[in-house]
């Protein structure tokens, strides 16, 4: 069986890592296509070297998030490779481009993280999720809630609850990150004595939201570590927004350094869907800079608080952040990649 896997940004590299190993173990031929949606070395090339992943067979190097520009290039690859499946992850424009290209080429789509919904139609990610779920022949849902959402929407593809491949990656890589990364020593940090911040979503890098988020960060007590995404760095400079001295601005971090930093923080402040889950698995309370989330179980468990861009709410939530005494196991058991590889191998591709 041949599978073309389309990836374009860091979270998708994380998700693809355990699945690539599972596909290899199952004897499948995987062809990885890197769209180049994230082209900064710290967000792509370094990641591949850290996780010891095989280099993608195709690097489009388009340096764009425009799905319309990605699709024709992916279609050319599919025409040459003629895979049994096209595998896409999550909700990015690379996901949408890969799914559209597969449908145009008459090749079935398997969508990892099917059925997630934030309810926020202003987010391009939400629109991508809904579109790709409707295009997919195989809907690989992380939990029963997502599967129920797909049933309620009448989505036609076959749905299988497999768990979350990010949990597979987290269980395998978090111990390696703590062992190999020296970032806490380099920055003079004590575990549990700092806050980690990530901001990258398009809405949060525009005014007035970005200014309100910066105001909230400047109100926080204690040391704050802020690895700044290139998009966010450009927006901060463009808008002339200054961070307080207690906020340490860092360049984008490799995955192992970021995992080590986040796993040992007192609080994580983020707009990343993936980091909301990772915080839960690390046992670190999370404060989310969005009005909604596609991972509501973390909020219902008391481990995650939505503050949107309100500075006072951000300040109060970070000060009060704690993990619940009892945490249910969320999003699987760490064997999602194995189940996905089995499903692709056993199900007819047409």
Digit-coded pLDDT (tens) for 115-158: 999 999 989 999 999 999 999 999 999 999 999 999 999 999 99
Q: Which residue numbers are catalytic? A: 200
All domains of the chain, ordered by start, with CATH? 2-164+332-346 (3.40.50.2000), 182-320 (3.40.50.2000)
Residue 40 has a pLDDT of 57
Query: For residue 139, what are the contacts with CB-CB under 8 A and spacing of at least 6?
Result: 111, 114, 115, 133, 147, 150, 155, 157, 158, 159, 160
Q: What is the rounded average pLDDT of the residues 309-336? A: 96
Tens-place pLDDT, residues 159-188: 999 999 999 989 988 888 888 899 999 999
SS (H, E, C) 69-80: HHHHHHHHHHHH
The whole-angstrom separation of Cα 143 and Cα 246 is 39
Q: What is the rounded average pLDDT of the residues 266-272? A: 97
Are 30 and 5 in contact, with CB atoms under 8 Å apart?
Answer: yes
Taking alpha carbons only, the member of 122, 117, 100 closest to residue 109 is: 100
Tens-place pLDDT, residues 27-79: 999 999 999 876 556 545 656 666 667 788 999 978 778 899 999 999 999 99
Cis ω on the peptide bond leading into residue 250 (within 30° of 0)?
A: no
**pLDDT at 350 > cutoff 60:** no
The whole-angstrom separation of Cα 99 and Cα 129 is 11
State the pLDDT confidence band at 219, using cuts at 50, 70 and 90.
Answer: very high
């Amino acid at each position: 069986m041949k599978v073309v896997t389309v990836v374009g940004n860091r979270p998708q590299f994380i998700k693809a890592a355990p699945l690539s190993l599972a596909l290899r173990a199952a004897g499948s031929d995987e062809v990885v296509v890197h769209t180049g949606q994230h082209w900064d070395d710290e967000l792509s090339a370094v990641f591949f070297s850290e996780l010891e992943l095989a280099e993608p067979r195709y690097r489009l190097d388009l340096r764009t998030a425009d799905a319309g520009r990605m699709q024709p290039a992916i279609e050319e690859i599919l025409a040459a490779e003629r895979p049994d499946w096209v595998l896409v992850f999550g909700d990015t424009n690379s996901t949408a481009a890969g799914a559209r290209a597969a449908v145009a080429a008459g090749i079935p789509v398997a969508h990892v993280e099917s059925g997630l919904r934030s309810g926020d139609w202003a987010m391009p990610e939400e629109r991508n999720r809904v579109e790709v779920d409707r295009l997919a022949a195989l809907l690989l849902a992380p939990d029963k809630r997502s599967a129920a959402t797909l049933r309620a929407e009448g989505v036609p593809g076959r749905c299988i609850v497999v768990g979350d491949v990010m949990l597979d990656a987290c269980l395998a890589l978090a111990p390696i990150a703590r062992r190999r990364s020296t970032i806490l020593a380099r920055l003079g940090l004590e575990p549990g004595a700092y806050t980690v911040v990530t901001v990258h979503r398009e809405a949060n890098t525009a005014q007035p939201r970005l200014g309100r988020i910066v105001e909230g960060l400047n109100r926080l007590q204690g040391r704050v570590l802020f690895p700044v995404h290139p998009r966010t760095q450009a927006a901060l400079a463009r808008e002339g927004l200054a961070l307080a001295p207690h906020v340490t601005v860092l360049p984008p971090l490799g995955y192992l350094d970021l995992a080590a930093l986040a796993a040992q923080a007192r609080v994580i402040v983020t707009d990343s869907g993936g980091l909301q889950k990772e915080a839960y698995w690390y046992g670190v309370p999370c404060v989310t800079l969005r009005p909604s989330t596609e991972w509501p179980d973390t909020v219902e468990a008391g481990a995650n608080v939505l503050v949107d861009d309100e500075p006072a709410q951000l300040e109060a939530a970070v000060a009060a952040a704690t993990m619940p005494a009892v945490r249910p196991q969320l999003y699987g058991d760490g064997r999602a990649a194995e189940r996905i590889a089995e499903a692709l191998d056993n199900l007819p591709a047409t």
